Amino acid sequence: MMPQASATQGDQHDMTMTLRVNGEEHTLDTQSDTPLLYVLRSELGLRGPKFGCGLGECGACTVLVDGRPLRSCIVPASSLRERDIVTLEGLGTPQQPHPLQQAFIDEQAAQCAYCISGMIMTAKALLDRHPDPDDETIKQALTANLCGCGTHLRILRAVKRAASTLREATHDT
């Protein structure tokens, strides 16, 4: 669907667009250059992805787009129409957490928790492709996600625990 421009200013303009987030379609009026993160948090009320650096450098805002991690603070939402966007809220619920969410709880991997949504979404993309990653592979996948609290070892344990749970679930089916 082509965007409907209603006003122009430089190379940005108001537009109406539809985004598919956590399996639901949302039609929104926004600026063509508004970062996805702002749309998710301010328009859709999804507070999983966090604003950290706003420069694509910390990973706090990471979401999945078509299964791949994406830094939502630097990508215009308007460029992601027709794509499958998943945030932390799309993985599980407090009543039925995703194995990654449960593992982060079990390992008490969060201190301030600001980085955790981005860590989990990045780990989700990793485990979808590598169900049995070794420590080095996990560290490599998460190396660009910053944690100022220094809970890296607990995060590593949480990802390994989740990988094990997911593998067991696969064998049981």
x/- map, 84-113, ligand FES, by CB under 6 A = --------------------------xxxx
Counting every residue, how long is the chain?
173
Q: Spell out a b/e string for 93-102, using b for 16 or more CB atoms within 10 Å of the CB, else e.
A: eeeeebbbbb
Q: Which is nearer to ligand FES, 87 or 151 (CB)?
A: 151
Options 28, 149, 164, 165; binder of ligand FES; rule CB under 6 A: 149
Query: What residues have CB less than 8 Å from 54, skipping those under 6 apart?
Result: 73, 74
- Pairing outcome for strands 84-86 and 62-65: antiparallel
Dihedral angle, C-alpha 99, 102, 107, 110, nearest 10 ° = 120
Within 113-142, the residues that bind ligand FES by CB under 6 A are 113-115
From candidates 16, 18, 68, 148, binder to ligand FES by CB under 6 A:
148
We find the least distance from the C-beta atom of residue 135 to ligand FES, in angstroms, to be 19
Of 118, 146, 141, 125, nearest in space to 57 by CA: 146
- Regarding 52 and contact with ligand FES (CB under 6 A), the answer is yes
Q: Which is nearer to ligand FES, 73 or 126 (CB)?
A: 73
State the pairing for strand pair 24-31/12-21: antiparallel
Nearer to ligand FES, 35 or 99 (CB): 35
Q: Which is nearer to ligand FES, 2 or 55 (CB)?
A: 55
- In angstroms, the CA 37 to CA 123 distance is 19
Residues that bind ligand FES (CB under 6 A): 51-54, 56-61, 71, 73, 110-115, 147-149, 151
